[in-house]
């Protein structure tokens, strides 16, 4: 038989935890745990797919190699691939099954937190319910990477391999800033579409298009510039 005081403490602790929870906290924890759950699977998929890409290149099938490379990146990011390149169809299918099993416990616990939060007074607020709906959709879809997740720190350059002129930061909260190069500025950024970012500064706007290992920066009438991510 449980001691009345112990029961009271457990109820109080559970209530406090629910009250302290939030859509942001649930999503943050889910992404962290989900990334850990699929990390080894992703490494194995990349290791197994690379020889297939190499073989396509050796066979002169450049289009097939480019397609499979793109599809691999989508798979690693948790994005669906509707028509896998032929040589990787079975591999992708096996990966999908293994990934779903790895994510299932994380999804289950995260959705349980959503249901618990919805039962609290704070969870009954319209804004919170709306945010929880978005979080649940992302969790059930099995996405792992934040759509806005891009490297935070970049170097600004005249050419992709030229010397760094300044540092540029795209913070996860949507703020942007530059440091060095004789001046510092603050602005904001948002994704216009997949692979294209718009950064707004006090007197001009950047269109940043992500490439493989760098980004092209357009801001007329200034000539084309480049951003290179800083590897930690």
Do the Cβ atoms of 156 and 178 come closer than 8 Å? Answer: yes
Domain that holds residue 119: 4-141
pLDDT for the residue 151: 83
**Domain endpoint, select from 113, 141, 169:** 141
Shared domain check, 161 and 133: no
Specify whether 137 is located in the same domain as 157: no
Are 136 and 186 within one domain? no
pTM over 0.75: no
- Identify whether residues 109 and 193 lie together within a single domain: no
Same domain assignment for residues 161 and 134 = no
Judged by DSSP in three states, 43 sits in helix
Confirm whether 146 is domain-assigned.
no
Q: How far is CA 76 from CA 98, 154, 170, in A?
A: 13, 23, 22
Predicted pLDDT of residue 3: 55
Task: Determine, yes or no, domain membership for 220.
Answer: yes
First vs last C-alpha separation in the chain: 53
Average pLDDT of the chain is 86
Cα separation, 183 vs 161, whole angstroms: 22
Give the tens place of pLDDT for each residue, 108-125.
999 999 999 988 876 668
Query: Total domain count for the chain?
Result: 2
**131 with 158, same domain?**
no
Q: Are residues 61 and 169 in the same domain?
A: no
Same domain, 164 and 113: no
- How long a stretch of residues is the chain? 232
Q: Which residues of the chain have pLDDT under 50?
A: 7-18
Per-residue model confidence (pLDDT) at position 13: 44
């Amino acid at each position: 038989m449980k001691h009345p005081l112990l029961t009271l403490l457990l109820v109080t602790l559970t209530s406090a935890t629910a009250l302290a929870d939030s859509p942001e906290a649930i999503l943050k924890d889910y992404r962290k745990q989900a990334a850990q759950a699929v990390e080894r699977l992703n490494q194995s998929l990349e290791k197994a797919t690379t020889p297939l890409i190499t073989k396509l290149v050796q066979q002169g099938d450049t289009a097939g190699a480019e397609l499979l490379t793109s599809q691999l990146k989508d798979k690693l990011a948790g994005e669906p691939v509707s028509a896998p390149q032929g040589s990787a169809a079975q591999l992708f299918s096996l990966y999908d099954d293994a990934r779903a099993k790895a994510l299932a416990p994380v999804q289950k616990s995260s959705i349980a937190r959503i249901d618990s939060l919805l039962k609290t007074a704070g969870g009954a607020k319209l804004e919170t319910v709306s945010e929880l709906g978005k979080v649940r959709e992302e969790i059930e879809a099995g996405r792992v990477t934040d759509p806005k997740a891009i490297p935070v720190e970049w170097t600004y350059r005249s050419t992709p391999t030229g010397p760094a002129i300044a540092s540029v930061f795209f913070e996860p909260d949507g703020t942007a800033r530059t440091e060095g190069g004789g001046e510092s500025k603050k602005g904001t950024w948002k994704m216009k579409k997949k692979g294209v970012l718009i950064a707004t500064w006090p007197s001009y706007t950047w269109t940043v298009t992500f490439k493989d290992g760098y980004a092209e920066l357009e801001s007329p009438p200034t000539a084309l510039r480049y951003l290179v991510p800083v590897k930690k």
